[in-house]
Amino acid sequence: MLKPRAIFLDIDGTYASHGVVPPGHVDAVRAARAAGNLVLLCSGRPASALPDSLTSAGFDGFVGAAGAYVRIGGKVLSDVRFPTELAARTVSALDKHGMLYILESPEGLFARPGALGLIERARRLYAGNDDSAEARRTPITSADNLHQVPFGKAVCLDGDTPIDEVVREIGPEVAVVTMSIEDAGSAAGEIYQSHLNKSVGMRIAMEHLGLTVDDIVAFGDGLNDLEMLQFAGTSVAIEGSDPRVLAAADRTAKGPQEEGLRAAFAELGLVG
């Protein structure tokens, strides 16, 4: 019997498109697990932003918040938040530059009361004409004092200053990946702790499962997937990804609109 492999799937643009999982991808995940493999979601999303519509296929684990959070089955193996001083510095800098932002944690998404309407308008802009996206959005909790919210990542949707400048002001402890969404401005991006990335969480999961790098298969499409693709024994980029993502991968697969994982899983021998 072949040794099982662990398949790590980025969500947005890889497993799902605008939060919608094609039926062929659900079938592929279930077939891969039935063949004895493990399938884990590996995303920049926090655990609180995983609706049933994304997880209904059934998964063995989750690496979230750009590597800060790892859960296998029902056991949380890692949950790294911004240290208190860094969190305060980050929130202060975001406020100083008039950034429209959300703090993400496994417990939920948090923003200032006055920002909620603007955030919803920005979300609708990024969703384009997809009216069904409203039902798939994770609710945002209003918080008067964001300095009291422990968070693993901050997402900026708009602001008065390019996000790269804000991140430089916060300091080297943080890094940013800009939004891959068309029409997102220079202020949009995700701020995370610079020592973390998806491969950090993947290694924690891999070691817990008793696997090696050669047992790892990773699929991704975004710049925050670079480390996961470089880490995996077998890496697959989605066609049309940034050239840097394509260069980091061993092969390509079609996107979710064409149910590309179905064919890729078969070609890699991940299904029976």
Residue 135, pLDDT score: 43
Cβ count within 10 A of residue 116 = 15
Residue 132, pLDDT score: 47
Q: What is the mean pLDDT of residues 181-210?
A: 90
| 38-52 pLDDT per residue, tens | 999 999 999 999 999
Residue 116, pLDDT score: 85
| 76-107 pLDDT per residue, tens | 999 999 999 999 999 999 999 999 999 999 99
Assign a CATH topology to domain 6-80+197-267: Rossmann fold (3.40.50)
Beta carbons within 8 Å of 207's beta carbon, 6+ residues apart: none
For residues 28 and 201, what is the distance between their CA atoms, to the nearest angstrom? 23
Residue 126, pLDDT score: 54
| 111-168 pLDDT per residue, tens | 999 888 888 877 666 555 454 444 456 789 999 999 999 999 999 998 989 999 999 9
Assign a CATH topology to domain 84-193: 3.30.1240
Residue 142, pLDDT score: 93
Residue 183, pLDDT score: 56
| 170-180 pLDDT per residue, tens | 999 999 998 75
Structure-model confidence comparison of residues 134 and 26, the more confident one: 26
Do 189 and 163 touch, CB atoms closer than 8 A? yes
Residue 137, pLDDT score: 66
Provide the mean pLDDT of the chain.
Answer: 92
Return the C-alpha torsion angle 127, 130, 135, 140, nearest 10.
20
Residue 18, pLDDT score: 85
pTM of the shown model: 0.92
Residue 185, pLDDT score: 76
| 222-261 pLDDT per residue, tens | 999 999 999 999 999 999 999 999 999 999 999 999 999 9
Cβ count within 10 A of residue 166 = 25
Q: Where are the domains of the chain?
A: 6-80+197-267, 84-193
For residues 203 and 231, what is the distance between their CA atoms, to the nearest angstrom? 9
